[in-house]
């Protein structure tokens, strides 16, 4: 990663300009060409430096639901269960924790009922109970990581 990539990533963490030509506005800020910015973002996605680039939606305002959940997965099955979850479109991401509940994941569904249905499907497919930790309140932290 070079200095331009760092500047680009730091700037993108604050969102895209909400104008008719956002890539041009961003290019003007960073003294670059819009096509070069799009190519850099794609390269950072391709090499795994960025894992996601896109808008963040408030799923609840759109009528949907999400929840944080966890599984206690036997180590011998960890990779297989992780792959099962990764194949499910409702699973936003999953990750390992050094804890009895060692696999954590976020579910996002089009309806609140979809959360219950997806949890039931995960339990049926894995044979493991799901710890469901729904949100009680929303706090906007505005977290940014300078690179």
Residues of the chain predicted below pLDDT 50: none
| Lookup: tokens for 87 | 């194949």
Q: Are 118 and 110 in contact (CB under 8 A)?
A: no
- Give the pLDDT score at 137: 86
- Give the pLDDT score at 51: 86
Domains of the chain: 3-46 (1.10.10), 65-133 (3.30.70.3460)
- Give the pLDDT score at 56: 79
One DSSP character per residue, 2-71 reads -HHHHHHHHHHTT----SSSHHHHHHHHHTS-HHHHHHHHHHHHHTTS-S--S----TTTTT-EEEEEEE
- Give the pLDDT score at 41: 97
Record the pTM. 0.70
- Give the pLDDT score at 116: 97
- Give the pLDDT score at 58: 82
């Amino acid at each position: 990663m070079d200095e331009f990539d760092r500047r680009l990533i730091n700037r993108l963490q604050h969102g895209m300009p909400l104008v008719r030509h956002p890539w041009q506005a961003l290019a003007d800020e960073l003294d670059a060409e819009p096509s070069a910015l799009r190519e850099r973002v794609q390269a950072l996605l391709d090499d795994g430096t960025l894992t996601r680039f896109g808008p963040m939606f408030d799923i609840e305002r759109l009528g949907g639901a999400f929840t944080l959940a966890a599984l206690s997965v036997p180590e011998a099955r960890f990779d297989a269960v992780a792959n099962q979850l990764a194949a499910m479109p409702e699973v936003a991401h999953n990750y390992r924790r050094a804890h009895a509940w060692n696999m954590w994941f976020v579910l996002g569904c089009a309806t609140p009922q979809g959360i219950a249905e997806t949890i039931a499907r995960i339990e049926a497919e894995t044979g493991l109970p799901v710890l469901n930790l729904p949100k009680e309140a929303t706090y906007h932290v505005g977290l940014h990581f300078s690179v």
